[in-house]
Amino acid sequence: MKILTTFITLGFAAVNSLLAQIPNSDFNNWTSGVPDGWFTTTSSFGTVTQSSPGYNGSPYAVSLYLTNSGGNAEITTGTDISNNQFIISGNPTSLTGWVKSSNPGSLNVTVNIWKQGGILIGTGNYNAVPAYSSWTQFTAPINYSAGGQGKLAEIDINLTPNVGPGEGVLVDSLNFNYPTGVINIENNVSLESPYPNPASDICTVIYSIQNSSAVKIAIYDLSGRKVMNLMDNTKQTPGRYIIPANVSALTNGVYVFTITADEIQYTQKMVIIKNK
The model's pTM is 0.60
- Among the candidates 147, 177, 207, a domain finishes at 177
Same-domain pairing of 33 and 143: yes
Q: pLDDT grade, residue 37 (50/70/90)?
A: very high
pLDDT of residue 43: 79
* Alpha carbon distance 87, 124 (integer Å): 17
Which CATH number does the domain housing residue 50 bear? Answer: 2.60.120.890
- 110 lies in the same domain as 72: yes
Q: Same structural domain for residues 229 and 109?
A: no
Looking at the 3D structure of the chain, how many domains does it have? Answer: 2
State the Cα–Cα distance between residues 139 and 25, nearest whole angstrom. Answer: 15
Residues 253, 162, single domain; the answer is no
Do 242 and 179 meet the contact criterion of CB atoms below 8 Å apart? no
* 40 and 173 together in one domain: yes
DSSP state letters, 16-55 = HHHH---TTTT---EETTEETTEEE---TTEEEEEESS-G
**Based on the domain organization, do 162 and 204 belong to the same domain?**
no
Residues 28 and 76 in one domain: yes
Q: Is residue 15 part of a domain?
A: no
What average pLDDT does this structure show over 242-270?
84
Q: Assess contact for 263 and 2: CB atoms under 8 A.
A: yes
Helix, strand or coil for residue 228?
strand
pLDDT at position 276 is 56
| pLDDT digit string, tens, across residues 165-190 | 889 999 999 998 876 543 333 346 77
The residue type found at 12 is: F
- The verdict on 214 and 133 lying in the same domain is no
Write the CATH number for 211. 2.60.40.3880
- Give the Cα-Cα-Cα angle 18, 19, 25 (nearest 5 degrees): 95
* pLDDT tens digit sequence for 80-119: 877 888 888 678 899 999 999 989 999 999 999 998 778 9
Cβ burial, residue 85 (10 Å; 0-12/13-18/19+):
middle
Structural domain harbouring 234: 180-272
The pair phi, psi for residue 173, each rounded to 5°, is 50, 65
Residue at which a domain ends, from 177, 206, 224: 177
